[in-house]
Structure 1
Amino acid sequence: MDFINSDLIFAVALVLLVVFAVLGIAWGLFYPRLSKNYSRDQRIQAVSMSRIQMADKRSKSASVDRRKDIEANLKQMEDLQKKGKERKQSLKARLRQAGLSITPKQFWLYSAVSGLAFFLIALVSNTSMIISAGIGIVGFLGVPHFWLARKRKNRMKKFIAEFPNAVDVIVRGIKTGLPLTDCLLIAASETAEPVRSEFKRLVDEQAMGLPLTKVVPRLHQRVPLPETNFFAIVITVQVQAGGSLSEALGNLSRVLRSRAQMKEKVAALSAEAKASAAIIGAMPFIIGFLTYLSQKDLIMVLFQETLGHMLLGGALVWMGIGVVVMKTMINFDI
């Protein structure tokens, strides 16, 4: 019995030994190739995946850094705009924006001459001293500042009309391979006034050593328009954060021309309302003048009696309020 058990154990052990031997031989012959090919493919895939991941990380970090730079630049421009709005523009700045070369002292001297002339004309016209003094104050403070505001507004209109052409000149220069500084110089020589003088001053400031990111925002300070603000933001962001400057300025030029067309459309649509407001505002003066020609004694009561002065003052105040309301209703800011 023990002999049979020992033979059985021996036979089982021999079979197991043969099986393990065959498996070992098969493992030694075939597995190295499979493992080698698998490890090689795995390593190639791992390397390619790591490169893709590294490229993704780099692109993500670059986009994040660029977005941070753009946000910082926009915030800086916004702070400058807030400071400019909070700080009231001085008379010197308004004179420069109107294209005048006179100093504030000369302006106040001309205002004093204007006020004195209005006062003397009213005094010679047999008007009371109080009314003559009021007319003189209007000639001193009202008329010169009104003239300055009109001249500044006309210059800004000319600038808005010519500014897209200057941007197009810069875009064409950049597309031909010229640096931005040369493009600004070409725009300063090829465009019409007042864009020419403003760009020439911009080029002169850059030639003095100031960086472009500091020079361009000064253009918006000298010409406080949304168009120059857009231009300053585009230049500052593109110079510091990179990107296609010609494409950005081309889009800006299209936006500026679209804004100009919209303003012209609004002006055409509101022309009838402006004409009606002008007629309504002029009617009291026309009727008063016609009454003076036909019934002089009847209209002169308003200028000779105290009650007439009060009525005239109240009428002028109410007319002023009406003019302001109508102007607010027919003016549109774009």
Structure 2
Amino acid sequence: MEFYSYALLTLSVVLMAMAIVALSLVKPRRDAERVYARLGASPASARVRVPGPVERLFLRSGLADQRVHGYFILVIWSLAALLGMLFAGVPGAVLGIVLGLGLVYGLIEVQGRRRTRQIVSQLPGFVEHVSRGLQAGRTLTIAMWAAAEETRPPLQDVMRRVRREVELGGSLGEALHEAAEIHRLDSLRLVALGVRFNLRYGGSARDLMDQVVWALRRRERAYRQLKALTGETRISAVVLGVLPVGIAAYTVAMNPDYYATLLETPQGPWVLGGAVVWQALGVLFLWRMMRSL
């Protein structure tokens, strides 16, 4: 048993080291962007770079520039594996690693969705600021940079990354489109489409931005109406997800020996682990259904 304990402890440390390396992947790129920005130069071959899936996940959640939060999540993952090993041995450790990975992904995804909602709420005001800058006689690019400096995070962080991509030689429309793909924002895709259309075919940028603001406002009203109509469905999904866990906790509190027999048999930990996995899958399915509403 001691061999398995040391092996799983080593595995946890290795997983943490691998995750730290994953967090460090974005640092060289960010440092290079800062160097080019300070020098006022851009490489001739620079294009809007498409980040990988892991980098997209961290960029969407805002953890790419907040390494302390990333390390905290890694600690949660390792603790889940170690606690599982202490309570249920090897099966518990394996279950802890799987559930810890799911917990880490869930925390990052929740953080990303929270930032996405904030960006969506900031976009209409941002585009209105761009429209006012165009009315004052600025170009579309300068008006957008001025509006980006006046807005708040997280939209400010997104626009600063877009500006770095443009300063490195990319196109403004392509950089906005890539930012929309990273954050899964249909509203930002609409802004990017308007910018690309204006840069390619010309026309009144102010009228175009006014139309974009109107479309964003209308989309926001429709989303609020849909959210109000589906409120009962979301509450039902939350109740279905919490009810099994609540019943299990109540049973343990009222009769602690109820689950003790499972822990005393060789098959007991596997049965409990299977129940936890199925419950986690059920919560995942309900969460995916709620995302579509």
TM-score for the superposition, normalised by structure 2: 0.71
Residue 130 of structure 2: aligned partner:
170
Identify which of 218, 227, 230 aligns with 2:190.
230
- 1:191-202 equivalent positions in 2, closer than 5 A: 191-202=151-162
Q: Indicate conservation of the 8 Å contact 1:187/1:199, yes or no.
A: no
Match of 2:111 among 151, 169, 173: 151
* 1:142 and 2:105 matched: no
Change in 2 beyond 3 A, CA 1:136/1:102: farther
1:160 to 90, 101, 120: 120
> Which of residues 237, 249, 268 in structure 1 aligns to 2:209?
249
SS of the aligned residue for 1:298 comes to: coil
Residue 140 (structure 1) shift: 4.1
Determine which of 106, 111, 114 is the counterpart of 2:76: 114
CA RMSD of aligned residues (A): 3.1
Bigger CA drift: 155-164 or 133-142?
133-142
Superposed displacement of residue 119, structure 1: 3.2
Shift in CA distance, 237/173, structure 1 to aligned 2, threshold 3 Å: same
Q: 1:295, CA displacement in angstroms?
A: 1.8
Output the amino acid matched with 1:121: L
* Cα pair distance change 1:201/1:303, threshold 3 Å: same
CA contact (8 A) 1:274 1:330 kept: yes
Aligned to 1:187: 147
Give distance in 2, aligned partners of 1:199 and 1:175.
Answer: 21
Q: Aligned equivalents of 1:140 and 1:263: distance in 2?
A: 33
Question: What number of residue pairs does the alignment pair up?
Answer: 245
Establish whether residue 267 from structure 1 lines up as the match of residue 247 from structure 2.
no
Instruction: Work out the percentage of aligned pairs sharing the same amino acid.
Output: 23
For structure 2, list consecutive stretches of 5 or more residues without a partner in the other structure: 1-49
Match of 1:36 in 2: none
Report if aligned partners of 2:126, 2:147 keep a CA contact under 8 Å in 1: yes
Deviations 1:204-251 (A, max 9, x none): 444455443444434334433111111111111112112222122111
Deviations 1:160-179 (A, max 9, x none): 11011110111122123222
Higher relative contact order (CA 8 A, sep 6+): 2
The amino acid that maps onto 2:56 is A
* 1:188 and 1:196 in contact (8 A); partners too: yes
1:301 to 256, 261, 265: 261
Q: Which has the larger displacement, 190-199 or 308-317?
A: 308-317
The aligned amino acid for 2:80 is F
- Larger helix fraction of residues: 1
1:132-167 C-alpha deviation (Å, 9 max, x unpaired): 213430354222221111111111111111011110
TM-score, length-scaled by structure 1: 0.63
Does the 8 Å contact 2:92/2:273 carry over to 1?
Answer: no
**Equivalent residue, structure 1, for 2:61:** 98
